[in-house]
Homo-oligomer: A and B are copies of this chain.
Amino acid sequence: MSGPRYTPLVASLPSTVPFVGPETQERARQAPFTARLGANENGFGPSPRAVGAMKRAANEVWKYCDPENHDVKVALSDHLDVPVENIVVGEGIDGLLGYLVRMLIEPGDRIVTSDGAYPTFNYHVEGFGGDLVKVPYAGDWEDPVGLIEAAADCDAKLIYLANPDNPMGTWHPASVIEAMIAAVPEGALLILDEAYIEFAPEGTAPNIDIMDERVIRFRTFSKAYGMAGARIGYGIGAAGLMDAFNKVRNHFGVNRIAQAGAVEALTDARHLEQILSDVDSCRQRIAEIALEHGLAAIPSATNFVAVDCGRDAGFARAVLANLVASGVFVRMPFVAPQDRCIRISCGPEEDIDLFAAALPGALAAAAQSD
């Protein structure tokens, strides 16, 4: 028996996990984390009304989900003032990125992204045989001009930019993004990942132009809306592109409970306001904790803060390892020179207290082993 005949492309791929989850680490260390501040989850939690809607939906979970995600799309349409035809809903931004890459990318096609940007996007690109062209950050910012130049040079089909950025938390104002969209080369599509947009200052998101075929924007209920475990995100773009997702998507992919929670979450503006205020305070507190130890916090328009540990990647990795060993789950950027930082997600005060308590020891241990 020779086993299944994989495609040559799939046979060539590694079996991988783009992110090791905290549960995996907890199983390995045989103890739970005391503070969960590594995955940019929103520990302040979702709207209680959204939780209520999800609990009610649990009673009806014997019914399949609506494959058209109709109620979610109508609610988003109202919320964004964008027609329903310009919205696609999927299994988180991760799921939608996978579908989009499948729609456009064949082996040998080129895709431009920043060196150190979202690994799950790269996972999808590699999964369809695309060639990734990586543009360095400019300082701790993604480089819109450099990305566009690279795309023009290599005839890219896709360009990826997150604004605000993950893992650094930095951001560009709308004017810079608008100039970038205007400069997208013929035949390229800009993926504007706005997973963190709700946390950003007024004037960060460009106006949505639903006629513009050069850009697709992705947003999510995982971050500001605190529903990461529900797996629901959405895209906004030209109607033809939105409809093309129907060629490839898992139509019954977005679960019924998530759909109910998302609709309700959009109605609770007061909770969102509270979250944004809590996150803002928490960002300041993380910066203060960093400063107390002579470390610099990178300014952030997200629900996390990248803290510059002030030395090389080896030092930052040692700080991270010591924090993790003490029960504080955090992560760090993958690529130099941003990997001199560790990345702390905002969360409830008691979690940040645990981080503050563990940091001095982690820094000392890292310095000792340096």
Contacts and interface: CB of A to CB of B under 8 A. Distances in A.
A238 to B, nearest CB: 7
Contacts of A83: none
A104 B5 contact: yes
A43 B24 contact: no
Contact of A51 (B59, B63, B70): B59
Interface string A230-257: 1100000010110110111011111111
Interface string A216-239: 000000100011111100000010
Contacts of A256: 229-230
Interface in A43-58: 43-46, 51, 54-55, 57-58
Given A4-B241, A252-B92, A255-B229, A64 B51 contact: no
A3 B253 CA distance: 26
Given A62-B226, A231-B252, A244 B54 contact: no
Nearest to A96: B250
B94 A252 contact: yes
Given A91-B253, A187-B5, A255-B257, A244 B10 contact: yes
Contacts of A43: 62
Given A10-B102, A36-B63, A228-B64, A127 B248 contact: yes
Given A63-B228, A231-B255, A251-B19, A58 B68 contact: no
A15 B246 contact: yes
Given A10-B103, A252-B92, A247 B63 contact: no
A222 B19 CA distance: 28
A102 B250 CA distance: 13
The number of chain A residues touching the other chain, given as a range, is 35 or more
Contact of A7 (B39, B104, B255): B104
Q: Which of A14, A15, A60, A250 has the most CB of B within 10 A?
A: A250
Contacts of A258: 255, 257
A27 interface: yes
Nearest to A242: B15
A92 B112 CA distance: 33
A116 B240 CA distance: 31
Contacts of A231: 65, 252-255
Nearest to A127: B248
A186 interface: yes
Interface string A1-40: 1111111001001111111010110010000000010010
A13 B248 contact: yes
A10 B24 CA distance: 36
Interface string A339-352: 00000000000000
Interface string A82-110: 00000000011011001000111110000
A214 interface: yes
A201 interface: no
A121 to B, nearest CB: 12
A294 interface: no
A69 to B, nearest CB: 10
A39 B64 contact: yes
Given A4-B104, A17-B251, A51-B59, 9 more contacts: A5-B104, A18-B251, A21-B64, A39-B64, A44-B62, A46-B62, A51-B58, A58-B257, A92-B252
5 contacts: A3-B213, A13-B248, A23-B70, A64-B229, A231-B255
